Amino acid sequence: MSGAAASGIALTEARSVDLGAVEAELARLWRAPAADDGPVTTRACTSNLIAFCASPAEAAACERDVPEIVRQHPARVLLLAADAEAAPALEASVSAFCYPAGRGGRFCSEYVVLRAGGDAVQRLPSAVRPLLVGDLPTTLWWTPSDRSPPDAGKLFAQLDAMADQVVYDSRGWRDPVDAIVATTRWAGEAPPAKAISDLAWRRLEAWRRLVACALDPAVVPGALGGVREVTVEHGPHALPKAWLFAAWLADRLEWRPVRGRLTPGREIVWGFVSRSGPVEVQVRRGRAGEPEMKRVDIRWSVEGAEATRTFERLGPGRLGVAGDASGERPAVVATVEGSRSDFVARALPARGGRSLFRAALGAARGMAEVLER
Amino acid sequence: MPERDEPNPLAAGLSQSLLAQPCSLAIFGGSGDLAKRKLVPALYNLALDGVLPANFAVVGIGRSDFDDETFRDVAREGVERFSRRRLDANHWPDFERSLFYHRGSVDDPASYAELKARLEKIEAACGVSGNRVFYLSIPPDRFRTCAEQLRAAGLVTPSDGPGPFTRIIVEKPIGHDLASAREVNETLAQVFDERQIFRIDHYLGKETVQNILVMRFGNAIFEPLWNQKYIDHVQLTVAEAEGVGTRAGYYEGAGALRDMVQNHILQLLCHVAMEPPWSLDPDVVRDHKLEVIQCLRPVTGDDVDARVVRAQYGAGFHRGDAVPGYRQEEGVGRDSTTETYVALQLFIDNWRWAGVPFYLRTGKRLPKRASEIAVHFKDVPQILFNRDRDAPLASNVLALRIQPDEGLSLRISAKLPGPQVQVYPVKMDFQYGSTFGEQSPEAYERLLLDVMAGDATLFMRRDAVEASWAWIDPILAAWERSGARWLPEYDAGGWGPVEADRLMQSSGRRWRTL
């Protein structure tokens, strides 16, 4: 063992091998006899995970995440460490992440790192294809987060073609408007069976749940149909998340965007038409803070009476909701924030919710199309 | 006028199919063991998962001289000792704020009026609009008083009205025979509509029990084989390693048949044997489960001796330690004839299962804690690889492990490597733990969430409870008539009495070793 890579998880010694010898080296890994007093080792693999990293820094971050991901969802991991600035070469190394199982045994997940420099980056898809374990789902985790995946052109398209699911993170997109348009176009052309997971969307689940609960017709009858105004405040780099949130509301509540005004770096204001009248949505950027949604105010009107609910991020893992009724104390709920690795691990087995996300993406695109810039 | 029962378009796609609605959960027996060991830790884990409603309150009700702070301390201790996840100091204060205690007696009408006033105050502070769940973690003989007093105090809302909901959760046992079960159900029905009553059987909340339906109806390969054409027999085992422990007071009046078979095991049987429901609507699923119980061939008269074995554990050894026999346990009568083990052969008289025996067994002080459903397929013809009549091939067995090591395995025949054709049974194994990594939620987590969301799929309906008792009653009656003064004994730490082995051997079968 080369040492613990994460709590309770250890990485076996990595061996550099020729590309053509990767499978043989993996097989050797499982044939190697255990020491007499060593733990019983079980190879665990429920899917293929291709993790694409566009720089050494991204690859290093990804390597830190992989142990926790495979602990939660055992997979053959193919980490693609690209470095366009490096000399053109393609190298492979093989190892395994092992973690304790019951009764003194351990489970191990195969870990293959393919490092590509210069022009060799474009050859990565051909190196990956023969290394996929047949008959298992394949997920492409696209880790570059400054641009949308389709921006990477042919390289992304080739890796995408191998995958049943693509996981990416829109948090950090430099040009959210163009990225949303490009992503929506790609998602629209993807086969219906392909799962698409934006980690920003997954991070929104706690907000969505809280809003859905607090505005449930059983709690405040008529609120959802009578929404007049929504204000979303977010920190730097969280515009795509706030946009998706607004798009989700628009899609689910059947609002049609009719106009939008972008003030770069400050806010976007959209006008929608709902069945019961106009709705205004303001998405405002805070000057500092974490890349998260900070606060959402939803104001509605039912039979002439107005009311507001305020949803607020109170700190890591805590969301609060308060109404405007006097005497009611703000309620606080725990949220599963987790790390990036947690969200990727949870995305891997997910099969449902695709149509909802795609519909929200479609609404996000509609909102992009009405923007005056 | 906006309606409370309009669909919520924002609920689509969230990780639970239904949203738990803002409510208060009032636990009668709130200072008791179940609340501390199971209910509060389950609620805490739901809170950590972010699936509890934001506006939520728990009110423990009991005779113990607690106040809110004491109740919170006890709750904290319960979470620290029994929660599947550790107490998180960041989140505990938020959770703790929703815990309250009301001192009162189930038998005292005045304490219900006080409870109502207290609930209203708590609900106003917590933003709960009057939705209430009452959990009766109290002896069944107190159900009537509690239900009637709840109604008298104005704490029960009608099920079909436009206002907030009232739901009630009751723990097993629901009666000790058909007549008493009817009485309990009738008592509850006087106050609550059936849609408001959630009869909890924690077995049904286990992930692996829910997985039985997924495995059967989510895969194409099993269902075509799931009938009398291909299945030889089915074995259901629920084995407990523990003895009667501190439950002798209850167990002496119950026994294994009432304690395990009437509820848990018959419900497991329903999952294995039911026809495909045409939807996952709670009543559709429960209708199909009920049909299985209605198709059970009655075991009456002489059949009871031929098809049912009961026994008591004698002294023996458990994991190397000497343990007493049942009659020597504290609180057990020296002449007790309460069965600690029961094995049954039963038949389901419908088209799918005609002639397929189902063998059920459960007992205390067996070698280990293990629950399993094993589906034994019919043998291949005695030709080709199975022509040696002295060494027939092992039949295929699909084993669904409920606990521990949740998962499933399939025994198949494979060729041993080498020039000769030698066939050997091998096991393909799927383990939840190694495949999905994360710990499964506790059964109570799922079940409490379902009550708050109004989903009754995993709860026993009145007709199913009474149908189960109707099938069990003749066995109990035959035992009563027999006037037996002693029961067959099995050694503590063994797999049960020889009579249970004979039940299988008479048809050339044998119990699986777990």
Q: What is the mean pLDDT of residues B427-451?
A: 79
pLDDT of residue B7: 82
Confidence of residue B75 (pLDDT cuts 50, 70, 90): very high
Nearest partner of A202 among A168, A243, A159, A246, judged by Cα = A168
Kindly provide the b/e burial profile for residues A315-331, where b requires at least 16 CB atoms within 10 angstroms of the residue's own CB.
eebbbbbbbeeeebeeb
Interchain CB contact of B437 with A (< 8 Å): yes
CA distance B345 to B360: 7
- Which of A213, A225, A319 has the CB atom closest to B19's CB atom? A213
Q: Are B432 and B446 in contact (CB under 8 A)?
A: no
* Domain B20-171 shares a fold with domain B204-505: no
Find the helix or strand (DSSP H, E) in which A261 lies. strand A256-263
Kindly provide the b/e burial profile for residues B464-487, where b requires at least 16 CB atoms within 10 angstroms of the residue's own CB.
bbbbbbbbbbbbbebbeeeeeeeb
From chain A, pick out residues whose CB is under 8 angstroms from the CB of B129: 219
From chain B, pick out residues whose CB is under 8 angstroms from the CB of A223: 2
CA distance B336 to B254: 12
Kindly provide the b/e burial profile for residues B344-358, where b requires at least 16 CB atoms within 10 angstroms of the residue's own CB.
bbbbbebebbeebbb
Catalytic residue IDs of B: 264
Distance from the B122 Cα atom to the nearest Cα atom in chain A, whole angstroms: 10
Distance from the B441 Cα atom to the nearest Cα atom in chain A, whole angstroms: 15
CATH architecture label of B204-505: 2-Layer Sandwich (3.30)
Contact criterion met (CB < 8 Å) for B12 and A252: yes
Confidence of residue B434 (pLDDT cuts 50, 70, 90): low
Give per-residue pLDDT as tens, A36-77.
566 677 777 888 999 999 999 999 999 999 999 988 888 999
Q: Are B14 and B58 in contact (CB under 8 A)?
A: no
Q: A32, exposed or middle or buried, with CB in 10 Å at 0-12, 13-18, 19+?
A: exposed
CA distance B103 to B66: 7
pLDDT of residue B438: 60
Q: What is the mean pLDDT of residues B265-273?
A: 96
- Which of B1, B50, B127 has the CB atom closest to A336's CB atom? B50
pLDDT at A263 over 70: yes
Nearest partner of B286 among B453, B449, B463, B167, judged by Cα = B463
From chain B, pick out residues whose CB is under 8 angstroms from the CB of A342: none
CA distance B145 to B137: 13
Confidence of residue B259 (pLDDT cuts 50, 70, 90): very high
Question: Which of 39-58 (B) contact A at CB < 8 A?
Answer: 47-56
Tell me the pTM: 0.82
A213 or B326, greater pLDDT: B326
Find the helix or strand (DSSP H, E) in which B414 lies. strand B407-415
Interface test with B, best of A209, A255, A319, A358 (most B CBs within 10 A): A209
Q: Are B286 and B461 in contact (CB under 8 A)?
A: yes
CA distance B26 to B100: 9
Q: Compute the mean pLDDT over every residue in chain B, rounded to the nearest whole number.
A: 90
Contact criterion met (CB < 8 Å) for B53 and A336: no
What is the CB neighbour count within 10 angstroms for residue B322?
A: 10
Give per-residue pLDDT as tens, A82-116.
999 999 999 999 999 888 776 667 788 899 999 99
Interface test with A, best of B8, B92, B166, B280 (most A CBs within 10 A): B8
Q: Are A250 and A356 in contact (CB under 8 A)?
A: no
Contact criterion met (CB < 8 Å) for B48 and A328: no
Confidence of residue A5 (pLDDT cuts 50, 70, 90): very low
pLDDT of residue A270: 97
Q: Where are the domains of chain B?
A: 20-171, 204-505
CA distance B194 to B170: 12
Least confident stretch, B91-95, B267-271, B432-436: B432-436
Q: What is the mean pLDDT of residues B12-29?
A: 81
CA distance B478 to B481: 5
Kindly list the distances between the CA atom of residue A3 and the CA atoms of A77, A94, A107, in Å, as whole numbers in the listed order: 19, 16, 16
Distance from the B3 Cα atom to the nearest Cα atom in chain A, whole angstroms: 6
Contact criterion met (CB < 8 Å) for B12 and A356: yes
CA distance A354 to A364: 15
Interchain CB contact of B18 with A (< 8 Å): no
Task: Enter the CATH code of domain B20-171.
Answer: 3.40.50.720
A334 or B489, greater pLDDT: B489
Contact criterion met (CB < 8 Å) for A216 and B433: no
Q: How many CA atoms lie within 13 A of A28 on its CB side?
A: 11
CA distance B92 to A111: 38
From chain A, pick out residues whose CB is under 8 angstroms from the CB of B435: 44, 46, 74
Residue B400 contacts by C-beta under 8 Å, 6 or more apart in sequence?
B208, B211, B212, B215, B372, B373, B374, B375, B408
CA distance B458 to B464: 12
pLDDT of residue A16: 92
Secondary structure of residue A274 in the 3-state scheme: strand
Contact criterion met (CB < 8 Å) for A218 and B5: yes
Q: What is the largest CA-CA distance in chain B?
A: 85
> Amino acid letter at B440?
S
From chain A, pick out residues whose CB is under 8 angstroms from the CB of B207: none
Q: Are A29 and A96 in contact (CB under 8 A)?
A: yes
- Which of A211, A323, A352 has the CB atom closest to B10's CB atom? A211
From chain A, pick out residues whose CB is under 8 angstroms from the CB of B405: 102
Q: Are A221 and B2 in contact (CB under 8 A)?
A: yes
Least confident stretch, A311-325, B321-335, B475-489: A311-325
Question: Which of 80-99 (B) contact A at CB < 8 A?
Answer: 90-91, 94-95, 97
Contact criterion met (CB < 8 Å) for B437 and A72: yes
Closest alpha carbon within chain B to A333: B54
pLDDT of residue A1: 36
Kindly provide the b/e burial profile for residues A260-296, where b requires at least 16 CB atoms within 10 angstroms of the residue's own CB.
bebeeeebbbbbbebeeeebebbbbbeeeeebbbbeb
- Which of B1, B9, B129 has the CB atom closest to A253's CB atom? B9
Q: Are B346 and B299 in contact (CB under 8 A)?
A: yes
pLDDT of residue A6: 45
Distance from the A363 Cα atom to the nearest Cα atom in chain B, whole angstroms: 15
Q: Which residue in the block uniquely carries the two structure tokens 């059936």?
A: B194
* Structural domains of chain A in order of their starting residue, each with its CATH number: 6-168 (3.40.50), 203-347+354-372 (3.30.360)
- Adjacent-strand bridge partners of B425: B413
Contact criterion met (CB < 8 Å) for B50 and A325: no
Query: How many interchain CB pairs under 8 A, A with B?
Result: 140
pLDDT at A7 over 70: no
Secondary structure of residue A21 in the 3-state scheme: helix
Residue B220 contacts by C-beta under 8 Å, 6 or more apart in sequence?
none
From chain B, pick out residues whose CB is under 8 angstroms from the CB of A42: 434
B393 or A31, greater pLDDT: B393
Secondary structure of residue A99 in the 3-state scheme: strand
Give per-residue pLDDT as tens, A240-250.
999 999 999 99
CA distance A49 to A141: 7
Handedness of CA B1, B5, B7, B10 (dihedral sign): positive
Residue B145 contacts by C-beta under 8 Å, 6 or more apart in sequence?
B106, B107
CA distance A11 to A1: 6
pLDDT at B506 over 90: no
From chain A, pick out residues whose CB is under 8 angstroms from the CB of B126: 328-329, 331
Q: What are phi and psi of B429, to 5 degrees?
A: -125, 135
pLDDT of residue B246: 83
